[in-house]
Structure 1
Amino acid sequence: MRTLLFGLLALAACDRHDKHPPAPVPSTPLPAPAASPTKACTLAPIPLRYPEPKRLVAIGDLHGDLAATRSALRAAGAIDDKDTWIGGDLVVVQTGDVLDRGDDERAILDLIFALEPQAKAAGGAVIMLLGNHELMNGAGDFRYVTRGQDFGQDRVKALTPGGTYAKKLAAHNVVAIVGDTVFAHGGVLGEWVTQVDEVNRSSRCWLDGQGGGPETPPLAMVSNESPVWTRGAGMPEVDCAQIARSLQALGVKRMVVGHTVQEKGISSRCDDTVWRIDVGLAKHYGGPIEVLELAPGAQPKVLRGTR
């Protein structure tokens, strides 16, 4: 237990998430899936793959800033000034890290959860993914929580496994593939391409309270190279050969990630096969409001909102 705790703290220490993120820590072997209670999980699976939509907009880390979230959604053409879905068959993918560093976490989650059925009814979708901060809160790691009264004293009850909001988060995957694009908070690299289904399943079942408590985190939380922790796709220098192998293994053409703040806004590497969309749009960072539009037959396009 002590070793596991130190490991989680070390991973979180690498998540300073500032304008100059630390270099990736040395690679570690892919851990074998633990024999955990999630084997008997009763949650219905969520699709990993979705068909290619006519239009998709990807939004990066939100970190507790409701105003920036609304601006990003409006830049995407998803909501009106009353927070009602107007996107029709638009698909919005949010790549995780709604939680921490801001006081509007619950309001953002409530907005996303309200938009999901509205979008579905209109023929579109809102696909929110889990980031490392959602899983850190599930593990009881509240070091990046602000002093506001967002969840207050109810944070443990709300966000640790089996809690009210943890169960709502359990309705979301870590990795999604929409058309020819794979989305994840940090990326899907190396041997992790073979573990996508297990990462999704174990994370969801754990948050739902069917995989142990905060002290028994899921597969995605126990390696610095996992889809919620890796910075391999977000740093200035990217291993394009590794990206190409991952894309080929997953049967897609591009990867879209958040997690590592891009100082100059949304950026791409490896001939536009990897896009990095965490622009630090939350007021904690003061970055621009930018989202990424993807449409069949068109070049990816950066859309900008206002504060």
Structure 2
Amino acid sequence: MRSVSCALALCGLWLVGCDSDRRPPAASSPASATSAAVAAPGSAAQQGSSAEEDRAAFALPAVPKLIALGDLHGDLAATRAALKLAGAIDDQDHWVGGTLTVVQNGDQIDRGDQDRAILELFERLADEARAAGGAVHALNGNHELMNAQGDLRYVTEGAMKDFEGVGGLDLRNPRLASMPQVGRARAAAFLPGGPYARKIADRKVILMVGDTVFAHAGVLPTHVRYGIGKMNRETAAWLEGQSASPPAAVLAEDGPVWTRRYGSKELGADDCEVLGRALDGMGAKRMVVGHTVQKEGITSGCDGRVWRVDVGMSAYYGGKPAVLEIAGEAVKAVKGD
């Protein structure tokens, strides 16, 4: 399903090229490398946030059983199939997972028509799971943050129109002036401070549950030095409309929602060394990432220290649902039909 909005973006830019995820141009997103934005431990940028405070902003206690889901990309049927495969929902889309914890690795939106339904499903399931003693955590991926930047290249016509009539939209925002009418409601919903931007502001970019760390694309040692909790806080402040600029360290080409470092099927010794340093810096045993489609299903690398859960399950990619189950030291992929 190709987007009808390949040319849409805020700032009056007409963007082209929709065949694969591409970083926004410099005018709509900072393209500087993470290293340029990273502050060394103990620097002024790190002051006011202790290591304990930083950890508290991204780390949760271990749970008996956890299920990880990869990219969903606007496909509600695939989302339901994956959640049922996880044992999380029934046929009426209500939580039946009990004390189960579910982590979805971002990119719930774009490329499919049911973005809004998926976002609202996960919001409701988080409440139902909490009431049952479980948990649902959805991360922000590059597509959620692209929408907040006004980059709507990958939004379908159906998903564009689905945001018309949403309450709380500031359709008079001057940043929408050059936006074609069809895109204004969607753009206003995700503008920092907008109703859907505030919804995803509650989501983390990087999350650790027990000894497993989750990020849409991956965590590098430079991110650890910068401060994982700091990245989460800066992203949330921007989405809430409290910060004028998006966090450059998150949105850089090698940021945690964009890096392809761990996405390759064959990781080299240098990749595994980088992964090991990042994990050691967080006190984690393994990392779970999405972002890069694994056509053969969920894969692992570096002796099981990284797991890749983007199986392209949405209709756009034509893959089949699969989830990753983590129970103590046991980690396994669970495939759907």
Taking structure 1 as the reference length, the TM-score comes to 0.85
Corresponding position of 2:328: 296
Match of 2:149 among 130, 139, 143: 139
Change (3 A) 1:166 1:72: same
Quote the Cα distance in structure 1 between the aligned partners of 2:21 and 2:323: 22
Q: Does 1:31 align with 2:31?
A: no
Contiguous gaps of at least 5 residues in structure 2: 1-10, 24-30, 50-54, 165-183
Quote the Cα distance in structure 2 between the aligned partners of 1:220 and 1:210: 17
Quote the Cα distance in structure 2 between the aligned partners of 1:146 and 1:221: 25
Match of 1:104 among 100, 103, 114: 114
Change (3 A) 1:138 1:26: closer
Partner SS state of residue 130, structure 2? helix
Contact kept in structure 1, 2:221 and 2:281, CA below 8 Å: no
Change (3 A) 1:30 1:251: farther
Corresponding position of 1:21: none
Corresponding position of 2:190: 159
Which of 1 and 2 has greater Rg? 2
Match of 1:233 among 252, 262, 270: 262
Q: Aligned ranges for residues 1-307 of structure 1 at < 5 Å?
A: 15=21, 29-32=35-38, 47-148=57-158, 149-152=161-164, 153-194=184-225, 195-212=227-244, 216-238=245-267, 239-298=271-330, 300-306=331-337
Contiguous gaps of at least 5 residues in structure 1: 18-24, 40-44
Quote the Cα distance in structure 1 between the aligned partners of 2:275 and 2:152: 32
Contact kept in structure 2, 1:203 and 1:219, CA below 8 Å: no
Contact kept in structure 1, 2:38 and 2:249, CA below 8 Å: no
Pairwise CA RMSD: 2.6
After superposition, what is the alpha-carbon deviation per residue over 1:204-223, rounded to whole angstroms, capped at 9, x for unaligned?
A: 111111112xxx32234441
Quote the Cα distance in structure 2 between the aligned partners of 1:60 and 1:289: 9
Q: How far does residue 303 in structure 1 lie from its aligned partner after superposition?
A: 1.5
Contact kept in structure 2, 1:112 and 1:126, CA below 8 Å: yes
After superposition, what is the alpha-carbon deviation per residue over 1:38-63, rounded to whole angstroms, capped at 9, x for unaligned?
A: x9xxxxx9841111111100001010
Q: How far does residue 272 in structure 1 lie from its aligned partner after superposition?
A: 0.6
Corresponding position of 1:42: none
Change (3 A) 1:221 1:273: closer
Quote the Cα distance in structure 1 between the aligned partners of 2:262 and 2:32: 15
Counterpart of 2:289, as a letter, is: V
Contact kept in structure 2, 1:77 and 1:86, CA below 8 Å: yes
Contact kept in structure 1, 2:69 and 2:104, CA below 8 Å: yes
Taking structure 2 as the reference length, the TM-score comes to 0.77
Partner SS state of residue 35, structure 2? coil
After superposition, what is the alpha-carbon deviation per residue over 1:53-75, rounded to whole angstroms, capped at 9, x for unaligned?
A: 11100001010000000000000
Contact kept in structure 2, 1:220 and 1:228, CA below 8 Å: no
Quote the Cα distance in structure 1 between the aligned partners of 2:275 and 2:233: 24
Quote the Cα distance in structure 1 between the aligned partners of 2:230 and 2:34: 18
Quote the Cα distance in structure 1 between the aligned partners of 2:232 and 2:249: 8
